[in-house]
């Protein structure tokens, strides 16, 4: 079961993503060619540090409220008197800092991940009902042109994951929550967040924009089942077959890809339109012009998108809800009853959205399920491998294959690594002479011994294939100033019939460089300042909110004086929101070297970790931001399209 089944509840509000953008340009990782201007806000003729160089990486909910419930039978409830859960707040951790939004790699900003996010459910009386941990998972189904706004402001994406370590603080006497707890397995809940309408402009007409760094959030929470993937819906997948100029797969009338699920127990079709329908003014749903859209069953599997059908070519299931209330009230999820024999008719036949041509019943196919209903997707799809630590140099993932929502058993799958190529998409040129970074572009997918086992996987009787990914025993430094190498691996059904996939449905893998290299005389347990300084310099360059807003740890006397703080943040696990962001870009040996360096400084100076009690045992370096009053006014200037942290 998942958020797209019953029971479930919807919440809507805003999210804050105060990401740092200096690290969006991989050339900024080059210490040798780094310029002070790269820490400044973007101007009309220079990209500088892009649109938010003073970002803190914070990711959190704001003003999110439970708007509706659907119980076991699918009945919609919207009034608080129906269930006390309606009107409650979905918020953040009650005891730790906000989560952090982090890219996998500067060369792969198409699957930003949330780390350290805790989700709380707060009653209308202000008292906690539930707290849970969001299992780190990147966004999927990113597209850049859902609205006419430029850059990330026009983009839309969705995060799907599970809530774990759930603590119920009290009994709300909510029938819906009782149903959720009974229906879920392993004490987990399924959660989906759709994000769009992100405000990335600091000023407009010379005035600071109050919603800078905020966007619209639609959320749904439902039961989780152990046999289902965490990061996507294995159901009935609608896929446009046409691409626009931005590379998005979008139908002719602006509909993107989306998933649906046929619930046999309740005879309903549940469709997630939260990330699918085009947006108009104010990021409101822009209904497709002309006659209403309808969900339908196509009677001929060979019918393609944009084909005109007679009334005998399809069976109508019901109108597509293009009202804003579906987004605001139900988090973008529509549930259609399938009465009578309609449940039987959708089995093994393609679902589609059609639009009537005239009053005769003829209709045009706007978007439909992928040809032959084929879907194959990996659950975990971003990874970091480390030859410096054998335990971290091997991982695995599961791929699910289906046809019209039913498992594809004993189906062979193919995998192939992308060709070596420079990163053109994240390295824009500036109009101002001399403002474009001088560093050479990094090259990705340089062959280096990455292994997938088995090379040609095959699904089991449940339609699931498991593959192991192993990094090489050693990795050089093919990207020069950026650690390791990025590999992008495509996958699909083997043979002639393949699934149409969202453009970024790939495996993205970073393999860290071997450190120290054979010619580097570095004592990891007793490193010198000269050994750690280049790493700290790179971090100080990329995160000015720290190096300028707090202290410049690229200088030895400053870093040594704050050894207890530096040791504290480097020693945190990857899912801890207090972890220093750069740590997620470090191999095990580089991280060990830094921890040992600051430990040795503390031992030498007597500044022990006991000093942390002054900061409540939490990181004192949070909730910082730079001076945004100094940011330029970019009103009327088209913002550079970027793929990061949408």
| 603, burial (CB in 10 Å: exposed 0-12, middle 13-18, buried 19+) | exposed
Mean pLDDT of 137-148: 96
Q: Is the pLDDT of residue 165 over 90?
A: yes
Cβ distance 355 to 288 under 8 Å?
yes
Q: 101 with 41, same domain?
A: yes
Mean pLDDT of 289-302: 96
Residues above pLDDT 70, as percent of the chain:
95
443: left (phi over 0), alpha (psi -120 to 50) or beta: beta
Query: What pLDDT was estimated at residue 585?
Result: 87
Cβ distance 285 to 331 under 8 Å?
no
Query: What pLDDT was estimated at residue 622?
Result: 41
pLDDT category, 608, cuts 50, 70, 90?
A: low
Q: 94 with 186, same domain?
A: yes
Number of Cβ within 10 Å of residue 640's Cβ equals: 18
Cβ distance 22 to 644 under 8 Å?
no
Q: Is the pLDDT of residue 276 over 90?
A: yes
Torsion sign over Cα 274, 278, 283, 289: negative
Looking at 306, 339, 369, which one is the last position of a domain? Answer: 369
Q: 38 with 182, same domain?
A: yes
Q: Is the pLDDT of residue 117 over 50?
A: yes
Q: 206 with 340, same domain?
A: no
Query: What pLDDT was estimated at residue 642?
Result: 41
pLDDT one-digit tens code per residue, 493-525: 999 899 999 999 999 999 999 999 988 889 999
Number of Cβ within 10 Å of residue 553's Cβ equals: 24
Q: 57 with 190, same domain?
A: yes
Query: What pLDDT was estimated at residue 609?
Result: 53
Query: What pLDDT was estimated at residue 633?
Result: 82
Q: How far apart are CA 641 and CA 634, in angstroms?
A: 14
3-state secondary structure of 90: strand
Looking at 511, 540, 560, which one is the last position of a domain? Answer: 511
Q: 322 with 346, same domain?
A: yes
Distances (CA, A) of 226 to 16, 187, 388, 467, 501: 31, 10, 33, 19, 25
Total H helices, total E strands in the chain? 8, 34
Please check whether residue 37 lies inside any domain of the structure: yes
Query: What pLDDT was estimated at residue 636?
Result: 61
Please check whether residue 490 lies inside any domain of the structure: yes
| 264, burial (CB in 10 Å: exposed 0-12, middle 13-18, buried 19+) | exposed
Mean pLDDT of the chain: 93
Cβ distance 283 to 147 under 8 Å?
yes
Please check whether residue 517 lies inside any domain of the structure: no
Distances (CA, A) of 282 to 13, 33, 133, 148, 157: 14, 41, 32, 10, 17
Please check whether residue 423 lies inside any domain of the structure: yes
Q: 66 with 179, same domain?
A: yes
Please check whether residue 524 lies inside any domain of the structure: no
pLDDT one-digit tens code per residue, 330-358: 999 999 999 989 999 999 999 999 999 98
The DSSP code for 344 is H
pLDDT category, 546, cuts 50, 70, 90?
A: confident
Token digits of residue 333? 């999820």
Q: Is the pLDDT of residue 582 over 70?
A: no
Cβ distance 361 to 447 under 8 Å?
no
Q: 210 with 281, same domain?
A: no
Q: Is the pLDDT of residue 379 over 70?
A: yes
| 517, burial (CB in 10 Å: exposed 0-12, middle 13-18, buried 19+) | exposed
Q: 101 with 84, same domain?
A: yes
Torsion sign over Cα 212, 218, 223, 229: negative
**Number of domains into which the chain is organized:** 4
Query: Which DSSP string do the residues of 178-241 spell out, in sequence order?
Result: HHHHHH-STT-EEEEEEEE-----SEETTEE-TTTTEEEEEEEEEE--TTS-SSS--SEEE---
Q: What does pTM read for this prediction?
A: 0.94
Query: What pLDDT was estimated at residue 641?
Result: 45
Residues above pLDDT 90, as percent of the chain:
84
Q: 184 with 281, same domain?
A: no
Q: Is the pLDDT of residue 588 over 50?
A: yes
**Strand ranges, E, within 80-177:** 89-91, 99-102, 113-115, 118-122, 128-134, 139-143, 156-168
Please check whether residue 518 lies inside any domain of the structure: no
Query: What pLDDT was estimated at residue 121?
Result: 98
pLDDT one-digit tens code per residue, 388-401: 999 999 999 999 99
Q: 629 with 587, same domain?
A: no
Cβ distance 5 to 179 under 8 Å?
no
Please check whether residue 178 lies inside any domain of the structure: yes
Please check whether residue 134 lies inside any domain of the structure: yes
Query: What pLDDT was estimated at residue 496?
Result: 86
Looking at 340, 369, 398, which one is the last position of a domain? Answer: 369
Cβ distance 453 to 415 under 8 Å?
no
For 164, the domain range is: 1-233+613-646
Q: 196 with 263, same domain?
A: no
Please provide the size of the chain in residues.
646
């Amino acid at each position: 079961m998942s958020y797209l089944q019953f029971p479930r509840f919807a919440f809507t509000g805003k999210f804050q993503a105060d990401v740092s953008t200096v690290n969006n340009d991989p050339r900024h990782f080059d210490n040798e060619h780094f310029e002070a201007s790269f820490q400044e806000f973007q101007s009309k003729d220079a990209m500088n540090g892009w649109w938010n160089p003073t970002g803190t990486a914070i990711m959190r909910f704001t003003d999110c409220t439970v708007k509706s419930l659907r119980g076991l039978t699918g009945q919609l409830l919207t009034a608080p008197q129906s269930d006390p859960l309606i009107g409650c707040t979905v918020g953040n951790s009650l005891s730790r800092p906000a989560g952090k939004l982090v890219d996998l790699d500067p060369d792969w900003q198409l699957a930003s991940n949330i780390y350290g996010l805790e989700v709380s459910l707060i009653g209308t009386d202000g008292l906690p009902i539930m707290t849970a941990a969001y299992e780190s998972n990147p966004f999927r189904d990113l597209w850049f042109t859902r609205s006419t706004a430029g850059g990330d402001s026009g983009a839309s994406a969705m995060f799907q994951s599970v809530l774990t370590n759930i603590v119920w603080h009290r009994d709300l006497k909510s029938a819906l929550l009782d149903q959720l707890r009974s229906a879920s397995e392993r004490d987990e809940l399924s959660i989906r967040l759709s994000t769009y309408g992100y405000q990335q402009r600091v000023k407009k007409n010379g005035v600071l924009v109050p919603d800078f760094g905020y966007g619209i959030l639609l959320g749904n929470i439902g039961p989780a089942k152990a046999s289902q993937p965490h990061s996507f819906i294995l159901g009935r997948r609608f896929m446009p077959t046409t691409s626009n100029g931005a590379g998005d797969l979008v139908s002719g009338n602006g509909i993107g890809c989306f998933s649906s699920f046929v619930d046999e127990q309740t005879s309903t079709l549940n469709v997630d339109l939260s990330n699918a329908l085009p947006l108009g003014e104010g990021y409101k749903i822009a209904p497709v012009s002309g006659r209403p859209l309808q969900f339908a069953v196509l009677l001929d599997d060979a019918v393609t998108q944009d084909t005109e059908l007679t009334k005998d070519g399809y069976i109508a299931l019901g109108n597509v809800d293009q009202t804003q209330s579906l987004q605001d009230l139900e988090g973008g999820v529509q549930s259609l009853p399938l009465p009578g024999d309609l449940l039987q008719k959708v089995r093994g036949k393609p679902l589609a959205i059609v639009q009537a041509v005239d009053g005769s019943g003829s209709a045009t196919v706007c978007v439909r399920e992928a040809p032959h209903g084929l879907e194959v997707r990996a659950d975990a799809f971003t990874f970091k491998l480390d030859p410096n630590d054998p335990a971290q140099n091997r991982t695995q993932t599961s791929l699910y294959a289906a046809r019209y929502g039913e498992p594809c058993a004993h189906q062979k799958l193919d995998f192939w690594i992308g060709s070596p190529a420079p990163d053109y998409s994240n390295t824009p040129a500036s109009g101002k002479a001399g403002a474009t970074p001088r560093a050479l572009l990094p090259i990705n997918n340089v062959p280096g011994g990455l292994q997938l086992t088995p090379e040609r996987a095959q699904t089991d009787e449940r339609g699931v294939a498991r593959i192991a990914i192993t990094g090489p025993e050693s990795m050089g430094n093919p990207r020069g100033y950026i650690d390791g190498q990025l590999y992008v691996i495509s996958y699909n059904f083997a043979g002639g019939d393949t699934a149409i996939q969202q453009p970024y449905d790939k495996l993205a893998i970073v393999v860290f460089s071997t450190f120290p290299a054979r010619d580097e005389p570095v004592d990891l347990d007793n490193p010198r300042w000269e050994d750690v300084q280049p790493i700290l310099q790179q971090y100080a360059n990329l995160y000015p909110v720290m190096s300028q807003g707090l202290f410049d740890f690229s200088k030895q006397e400053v870093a040594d004086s704050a050894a207890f703080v530096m040791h504290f943040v480097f020693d945190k696990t990857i899912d801890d929101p207090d972890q220093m962001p750069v740590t997620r870009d470090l191999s095990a040996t580089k991280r060990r070297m830094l921890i040992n360096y600051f430990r040795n400084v503390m031992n030498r100076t007597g500044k022990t970790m006991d000093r942390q009690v002054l900061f409540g045992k939490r990181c004192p370096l949070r909730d910082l931001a730079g001076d945004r009053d100094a940011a330029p006014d970019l009103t009327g200037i088209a913002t550079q399209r970027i793929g990061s942290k949408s």
